[in-house]
Amino acid sequence: MQLGQAIRTRRSIGKVSENLPERELIEKILEAARWAPNHHMTQPWKYFVLTGDARTRLGEVMKEIKAESMTEDEKRDSTDRLEREAKKPLRAPVLIAAAVTPSDDPKVEEIEEVCAVAAGIQNALLMAHALGLGAIWRTGKPTYHPRMKQFFGLKERDTLLGFLYIGYPAIQPKERPRSSLEEKVEWWDQ
C-alpha cells in the first residue's frame, strides 16, 4: 500500500472479530510506533500490549473508576452499566496502551514528548491499516485517572494517552467528510 493511499483510507475500526492477530503483526505495529519523530531523541514512549485475561483485569479497573463517580443509588440501579464498563477492553483481542514517560532534562518541553507519542500512535494506526487490521484509538476520562496510572505502574509525571484496540475488521468503515484545505490552511508569503 502506498503511503498516500494508507493515509487517505485509514479509518477508525470500532468493531473487530475475536480472532487474535499474530504476534508478528503486533510487533510490526509497535516497530512503526518506535520510529516516530521526537525532539532530543528522548524516545518518551512506553507501550503495554494486553491480550487474554489482561484485558479483563483492565476492565475491572475501568469499572472501579466508573463506580467512583456514581452515587450508591446509581450503583445499585446501574449494575449493567458497570458490567458494560468492565467489558469494554474485551471489544478487541489486542489492546495497546500508549504512555508518555517524559524526560527530566530541563531543555525538553513536555508537550513535545506528548506529541512524539501521539506521532507514534499515528504510525501504529497506519501500520495496522497497511497490514489489513482494524484499529481505533480510544481515550476518555478513565484513561487519565490516577488508578489507571497505578495499574500500569506509571510514575506521577507519566501520562497514559489512550488505548489502541486492534483486531481483524468486522465492519467496513464509512467515508467521513473532511474540511477542505481552503478552510484550514492560510498561505503567508509576507
Q: Enter the DSSP assignment of 157.
A: T
Query: Is 103 known to sit in a ligand binding site?
Result: no
Predicted confidence at residue 156, as pLDDT, reads 95
Beta strands, E only, the chain: 45-50, 94-100, 134-138, 159-167
Ligand-binding site membership of 12 (annotated)? yes
Domains within the chain, CATH numbers bracketed: 3-173 (3.40.109.10)
11 in a labelled binding site: yes
Q: Which residue has the cell 531523541?
A: 41
pLDDT of amino acid 71? 83
Q: What pLDDT sits at residue 92?
A: 98
pLDDT value of residue 62: 97
Q: pLDDT per position in the chain (190 positions), as tens?
A: 799 999 999 999 999 999 999 999 999 999 999 999 999 999 999 999 999 999 999 999 999 999 998 888 887 777 788 999 999 999 999 999 999 999 999 999 999 999 999 999 999 999 999 999 999 999 999 999 999 999 999 999 999 999 999 999 999 988 889 999 999 999 999 8
Is 138 labeled as ligand-binding? Answer: yes
Antiparallel, parallel or unpaired: β 94-100 and 45-50: antiparallel
Alpha-carbon distances of 53 from 6, 26, 117, rounded to whole Å: 32, 18, 26
Confidence (pLDDT) at 175: 85
Q: Is 57 annotated as a binding residue?
A: no
For the chain, count helices (H), then strands (E).
Answer: 8, 4
| Rounded Cα distance, 50 and 39, in Å | 29
157 is in an annotated binding site: no
The answer on whether 145 is annotated among ligand-binding residues is no
pTM higher than 0.75, yes or no?
Answer: yes
Neighbours of 22 (CB within 10 A): 10
